[in-house]
Amino acid sequence: MSEYHVPVLLKESIEALNIKTNGVYLDLTFGGGGHSKELLKHLGDDGVLIGFDQDEDAQNNVPDDKRLKFVNHNFKYFRNFLRYYGYDKADGILADLGVSSHEFDEAGRGFSFRYDAELDMRMNQKNSLTAVQILASYSFEELAAIFKNYGEVKNARHLSDVIIKAREEKPIITSDEFYKVIYSCIPKAKEKKYLAQVYQALRIEVNKELDVLSEMLEQALDALAKGGRLVVITYHSLEDRIVKNFFKSGRADGIIVKDEIYGVVNLGFKQINRKVIIPSEEEIKMNPRARSAKLRILEKL
């Protein structure tokens, strides 16, 4: 059985948080608990860690530690839960974005084209929207927009046309059925990359990942205490662009808003690392899924 999820950039992300032993910290993407367990080693008896994960399976990884509070919800609600537990501000927030190894490796979840399974792709099994429903009900224009914007698929319109025509004959339920439907659209020299882009697009739409990320970043800046740090690890260009824009301007769209009178930009935070932190060759060799990871650090002023 494979490990639930190998924490990426573990040492670097924990160091980036600049942990105070009595501080309040949030792990917005608990997953296998790797980052949280390491963070707890740096907290004293009075320290607090609140971990979030919308995937019910993640609850099986929660250690028996009174300093840790686990919340089985999407991290877009973290501000409410921070207050629920009696804290107005956090000293550090960590978000390791993307899909956990567990979700990719669980065939029945439908996240990977490596397995024949129903195209579910929900990180939160309580949500109603699945990839099957998207393929069955979205219009041509909606499908084309998803594949173009979320998967950067070059032949997005042709792909959407093929799907629309195929579903008129029979529903597309499983990954094998989907593969047979879109086979003619796949560039033969780049099959794995193409399928990864298509699956990424569907997954992002199912889980509204980019919208949730933007919401989280805006909340995080308000939730941080003075001197508190936000540490974010991204894995693909779409989410990294949003994080990069936010760390530059305080907005997901990257637009810098100047004061109308003085023209001075006061963002209320600073970037700690102008150059992104990436995994070492050794880490990538040990965990190939870390190869695209980028770590950015922001500090509240």
Q: What is the pLDDT along the chain (301 residues), one digit of tens a residue?
A: 345 668 999 999 999 999 999 999 999 999 899 999 999 999 999 999 999 998 888 899 999 999 999 999 999 999 999 999 999 999 999 999 977 655 555 655 656 777 788 999 898 888 889 999 999 999 999 999 999 999 999 999 999 999 999 999 999 999 999 999 999 999 999 999 999 999 999 999 999 999 999 999 999 999 999 999 999 999 999 999 999 999 999 999 888 887 766 666 778 999 999 899 999 999 999 999 899 999 999 999 9
pLDDT at 1: 35
The two three-digit tokens of residue 220, written as one number: 């995080």
- Number of neighbours of residue 54 by Cβ within 10 angstroms: 22
pLDDT at 100: 61
pLDDT at 4: 61
> Is 3 inside any structural domain?
no
pLDDT at 187: 94
> Is 102 inside any structural domain?
no
- Cα–chain-centroid distance for residue 89? 22
Cβ atoms of 70 and 51 closer than 8 Å: yes
Q: What is the pTM of this model?
A: 0.89
Q: For 125-223, list the strands marked E by DSSP.
A: none
pLDDT at 70: 97
Please indicate, yes or no, whether residues 148 and 71 belong to a single structural domain of this protein.
no
Please indicate, yes or no, whether residues 296 and 158 belong to a single structural domain of this protein.
no
Strand order from edge to edge, sheet including 24-27: 68-71, 48-52, 24-27, 90-96, 224-234, 294-300, 269-271
**Cα 112 from Cα 127, distance rounded (Å):** 19
Please indicate, yes or no, whether residues 88 and 228 belong to a single structural domain of this protein.
yes
Please indicate, yes or no, whether residues 22 and 72 belong to a single structural domain of this protein.
yes
| 8-state DSSP, 126 | T
∠ at Cα 48 (42, 50), nearest 5°?
A: 110
User: Which of 188, 207, 226 is at the close of a domain?
Assistant: 207
Burial of 16 from C-beta contacts in 10 A (0-12 / 13-18 / 19+): buried
User: Which of 157, 177, 207 is at the close of a domain?
Assistant: 207
> Is 254 inside any structural domain?
yes
**Cα 118 from Cα 135, distance rounded (Å):** 12
Please indicate, yes or no, whether residues 133 and 68 belong to a single structural domain of this protein.
no
Please indicate, yes or no, whether residues 41 and 180 belong to a single structural domain of this protein.
no
Coil, helix or strand at residue 277? strand
> 45 lies in which domain range?
10-96+209-300
User: Which of 155, 179, 207 is at the close of a domain?
Assistant: 207
**Cα 109 from Cα 124, distance rounded (Å):** 11
Please indicate, yes or no, whether residues 192 and 215 belong to a single structural domain of this protein.
no
> Is 103 inside any structural domain?
no
Please indicate, yes or no, whether residues 141 and 215 belong to a single structural domain of this protein.
no
CATH number of the domain within which 221 lies: 3.40.50.150
> Is 151 inside any structural domain?
yes
Helices (H) and strands (E) in the chain, counts: 12, 7
Domains contained in the chain, number: 2
